Amino acid sequence: MPGANLTRVEAQERKAVIDAPIEYVVDLDLTQGPTTFISTSTIRFDSHAGESSFLDLIADRVLEVTVNGESVDPSEVYDDDRIDLNNLKEHNEVTVKALCRYSTTGEGLHRSVDPSDGNVYLYSQFEVPDARRVYAVFDQPDLKATFTFNVKAAQSWTVLSNMPVEATEDLTDLTADGTLADKPAESTKLWHFATTPTMSSYLTAICAGPYAGWHTTYENEDGRTVPMAQYCRQALKDAFAKDVDYLFDITKKGFAFYAKTWGVPYPYAKYDQIYVPEYNAGAMENIGMVTIRDSYVFESKVTDALAERRVVTVLHELAHMWFGDYVTMKWWNDLWLNESFAEFTSTLATAEATDWKDAWATFCSGEKSWALAQDQLSTTHPIVAPINDLNDTYVNFDGITYAKGASVLKQLVAYVGRDKFFEGINHYLNRHAYSNATLDDLLAELEQTSGRDLKTWSKKWLEEAGINTITTQVDVAEDGTISSLTLDQTAPNEHPVLRPHRLAVGFYNEDANTGKIVRTDRIELDVDGEHTAVTEAAGKAMPALLLANDDDLTYTKLRFDDASLAFAMANLYRFDDALTRAVIWLSLWDMTRDGELAATDFIDTTLKMLATETESTTFRYALAMLSNTVWHYTDPARRTEIAKHVAGELLTLAKQAKAGSDEQFQLVSAYLTYGVEGDSEFADNVRALLSGSLVFEGLELDNNFRWSIMHALASVNAIEQADIDAELKRRDTTENREFAVGTRASLHSKEAKDWAFDQALHNDDLTNSQLEEVARGFSSTRDSALADQYVDQYFEAVDWIWKNKTFHMSETLIGDLYPVYADPAKLVEAGDKWLAEHKDADNALQRMVKANVESSHRARMVRDFNAALDAEVQDAQ
């Protein structure tokens, strides 16, 4: 649909025609339900007389169009999700009345019915271009405007938007049948919201429903008192009430930190945070009213990693109030100006303004690892990505835009100096307040304050794809001192650019008093070109380990000298600093996935580390990559043996862990994912957990953990559908319905997988969250023989998915239905064939498929590497 897929050229052409000021008045009637609502938009704008343009609108039906006082036949001007505007005047007023559709996919205005109490909840999600699903709009970021929302809804509801409520009217009419599910009709109310400041359409928002709310205020640095509120579903209010004060405190610390760091106080009239159901993202930075997925409302025990991620998410969205909202990119190629800054500064704020002091270790393990993986695919792209159309934008919400961009900003701070960097940011925010900006605008301010020429830096770091590798080369004299230390930089053939780095080389040795491995020396320097001599190291005693990216200042792959590598593998668990451990472990993992380190060596090192690791995200990611190594990278002839060994070690570590600890919880949860068909010992252990005959002191069988157990039993066919139904009947909630369909899809049988594949594609009654659970359950089988049967079926379905599903649902299905545990050789053969036959497919679709297929190429390569190592050992014996 070309109308839905706006191109950059079309956006530029429209921008050349439409002039400020642009004003919207949007009236929404949310009383009709349950599938549609009435939207009326009045848009006032200037243009060049006699020119033509168009509005964006995705609607079931356009009821009325009025252009400059004249009624226009909708059938003559509405086509392909656009309303043609012909023969415009210098000053224009257009009114569009339409019948729009509620979404169940998290796009546009999402409608969710909570099965536990029948309450209906609405919330909007408009990024990238989905404001057009709710009202007629020029839906591109550089056509900023003011917005006035008026919303008609059930009188008992809470209705929220970007701005405070200016007035309300109680109405005498009633809501239509079905609006409140099984509840009777009730009187309605009209909410009038204050007009927004100038802003982009994708940042507008509406939430409506019987949300539970909490309120406080913040004394802003500019002297204003800013109202603050948090909301969630009624079914979650008791759980959320335990955390509300903490989350208010985190948010207030964020306000103070950002205002001090950037020298710009919070700019908007209020700040609401609404935790909403069935969200297809983590959160969204709507001006003055952030929406957050309500899986961040913790009814059951969660890992410390997830608790910290919630803090980072809260601070990430708050950072967007400045980066993205106050100053917005002109087009989506500068999406990183939003996301990289928010990711970098939220980690900085978490580390320096909250109790989560190891946030940079969390970032290294959880975010930077994401970037490293994506940057080594053929689908990688520059941080400043070429965005030709909206589909390109969708697939750039990725590890490059978020995590690599944030890593590079951390490197930029080291390169220009922290004080100069934030002075430049202050100038950038003040100069472009309430308007749009580009990369050049940012660099101009940073060059002015730092005195550094950043054009070359930007060209290599932001405008070129790929990742470098820095290898430590060291010569040691007979007396144990360093004769020479050189850092060699290489680049992949596909992206042959060598970058300037500001980094530190750390010297690590054992502390005789504590037995810990600690840093004993540090050299900071600029690295550029192929070879950089670390002259300051000459004559120093050779340490037990040299770490070439100490403090994780730059973004690069690392390779150790031989002695340091051996020491790291033997002693990683003894290092006293969480960030140091994360940097070293990530490098070992990178070597493993590159086929440079034996899978069994990585497994042994990781298991040893898990016995003492306390940083939760590093722990979580180590468990995840341990699993990935076992199931994808080991010699297939030994895989079952290795998996049983690892499962046993995890269970042993769980029994040794501190009662009620995060480590205990993560270890038991990880053990539950190691079931294979026919493993009676595993099935017996899991049943014992559920029955209470196997007890881990301090580990509660709460709601979510019970479903983890059910999922584990399903994976080895140790339960039936009736057991799943009975578990859901215990507590029928939004979340548990998602768990239930995911567990059914995880049953280890051809019948269950056929059901799951069909449901994922054809059951339009599934919410986006339920669909995700079904797709993940489908692809979770570790039985390659069963997964092999779906390789051809998957690639046959890809085109149909792309044609018939929305972008977000296509992304979910193409990613999560991929039968990743099938024989990688079969996946590679079928995947390469599909790609060869689809060279003209949309770029976004090709990127999704390539990412899957290339993961299988890597799995095959690393599997064969480890099989060859095992064969060498056997031959030697």
Catalytic residues: 317
Which two three-digit tokens encode residue 163? Answer: 């701005």
CB contact set of 388 (below 8 Å; sequence gap of 6+) = 7, 8, 843
Which two three-digit tokens encode residue 778? Answer: 């489908």
- Written as one string, the DSSP assignment of 514-533 is T--EEEEEEEEEEE-SSEEE
547 membership: H or E segment, kind and range: strand 545-547
Backbone angles phi, psi at 437, to 5 degrees: -145, 170
Per the CB < 8 A criterion, the answer to whether 487 and 528 are in contact is no
Question: CA 503: distance to chain centroid?
Answer: 28
Question: For residue 545, which of 523, 571, 524 has the smallest C-alpha distance?
Answer: 571
What is the β-pairing status of strands 225-232 and 469-476?
unpaired
365/352 Cα distance (integer angstroms): 18
At residue 258, what is the residue type?
A: Y
3-state SS class at 581: helix
Question: For residue 745, which of 710, 776, 788, 700 has the smallest C-alpha distance?
Answer: 776
143/331 Cα distance (integer angstroms): 10
606/628 Cα distance (integer angstroms): 12
At residue 314, what is the residue type?
A: V
157/586 Cα distance (integer angstroms): 48
Backbone angles phi, psi at 235, to 5 degrees: -65, -20
B/e letters for 819-836, b = 16+ CB within 10 Å, e = fewer, are: bbbbbbebbbebbeebbe
Radius of gyration in angstroms for the set of CA atoms belonging to the chain, rounded to a whole number: 28
CA angle 235, 240, 243 (to 5 degrees): 175
Per the CB < 8 A criterion, the answer to whether 331 and 129 are in contact is no
3-state SS class at 418: helix
Burial class (CB in 10 A: 0-12, 13-18, 19+), 525: middle
> What letter would DSSP give residue 332?
G
Per the CB < 8 A criterion, the answer to whether 151 and 159 are in contact is yes
Per the CB < 8 A criterion, the answer to whether 774 and 745 are in contact is yes
835/206 Cα distance (integer angstroms): 41
Burial class (CB in 10 A: 0-12, 13-18, 19+), 69: exposed
C-alpha distances (whole Å) from 418 to each of 221, 360, 404 are 22, 16, 19
> Helix 791-804 to helix 750-762 angle, to the nearest 10 degrees?
10
Tokens 């890992």, located at residue: 303
Question: For residue 322, which of 248, 260, 368 has the smallest C-alpha distance?
Answer: 260
Per the CB < 8 A criterion, the answer to whether 276 and 121 are in contact is yes
**Residue 37 CB neighbour total at 10 angstroms:** 24
Per the CB < 8 A criterion, the answer to whether 334 and 141 are in contact is no
For 173, what's the count of Cα atoms within 13 Å in the CB-facing half-sphere?
Answer: 12
Point out which residues pair with 504 in neighbouring strands: 524
Largest Cα separation within the chain, whole Å, is: 94
336/397 Cα distance (integer angstroms): 9
Per the CB < 8 A criterion, the answer to whether 304 and 312 are in contact is no
